[in-house]
Amino acid sequence: MPLEFKDIFKHNQDWLKEKLDLDPDYFTKLSIKQTPSILYIGCCDSRVNPESIIGASPGDMFVHRNVANLVLESDVNSKSAIAFALEQLKVKHIIVVGHYHCGGIEAAMSFKDYGTLNDWLENIRDEYQTYKEELDALGDGEKRNERLVELNVLEQCKHIANNPDFQKAQKEYGVELHAFVFDLNTGKIIDLEYEKIA
């Protein structure tokens, strides 16, 4: 059942009580400083909760999300998140996490007019054209969508690998880059092993 807007503050109070019952200093500790070891870049899909699927607690991950987990040279938001994570937080790992049944990927593959969203989707549509032969061979079904999800994650990793902040951090302290896909059908995370194909 979806969260009702009217229940937000009640749920917050319940959550607050639960945390304080477990540890009276929970929020004092949480407010001191964040020291995440991971930058998670994922889709803003409401079905994919980054902390839950990875088993992270607050403070474990620095999270950046957008439609279809894109990391674009022209997007100052994702570039700023990466720069902050590397320069200020010194994260050890950057993981790009796509997911099967991604609405952004499905919208891009439909080639319909989505108004304001068209500019964003154009990046995925360009990827589709790059891998058109491979994707079209899979037919019109779920397999083609899943493969474009995977290719999109790998493409975003390439963009990060070319980011000067990433290259600097890799030389300075060996930050690692990973490509994952979350399977909504099974709940499993699939490692695309970007580090082996980079």
- Both tokens of 122, joined, read 């154009």
Q: Is 178 annotated as a binding residue?
A: no
Q: What is the rounded average pLDDT for all residues in the chain?
A: 94
pLDDT of residue 16: 92
Q: Nearest to residue 91, comparing CAs of 165, 193, 30, 181? A: 165
**191: annotated active-site residue:** no
pLDDT of residue 42: 97
Q: Each residue of 90-142: pLDDT tens digit?
A: 999 999 999 999 999 999 999 899 999 999 999 999 999 999 999 999 987 88
Counting every residue written for the chain, the total comes to: 198
pLDDT of residue 33: 86
pLDDT of residue 139: 84
pLDDT of residue 198: 64
The active-site residue out of 64, 102, 157, 159 is: 102
- Both tokens of 2, joined, read 């979806």
CATH 3.40.1050.10 location in the chain: 34-197
CATH number of 34-197: 3.40.1050.10
pLDDT of residue 164: 97
The active-site residue out of 11, 23, 47, 191 is: 47
**102: annotated active-site residue:** yes
The active-site residue out of 64, 99, 144, 159 is: 99
In order of 36, 51, 58, 189, the CA distances from 55 in angstroms are 14, 6, 10, 12
Q: Each residue of 39-86: pLDDT tens digit?
A: 999 999 999 999 999 999 888 999 999 999 999 999 999 999 999 999
Q: Is 45 annotated as a binding residue?
A: yes
Q: Is 44 annotated as a binding residue?
A: no
Q: Each residue of 133-189: pLDDT tens digit?
A: 999 999 878 899 999 999 999 999 999 999 999 999 999 999 999 999 999 999 999
**45: annotated active-site residue:** yes
pLDDT of residue 90: 97
The alpha-carbon radius of gyration of the chain (Å, integer) is: 18
pTM for the structure as a whole: 0.92
Q: Is 157 annotated as a binding residue?
A: no
Report the C-alpha gap between 4 and 138 in whole angstroms.
40
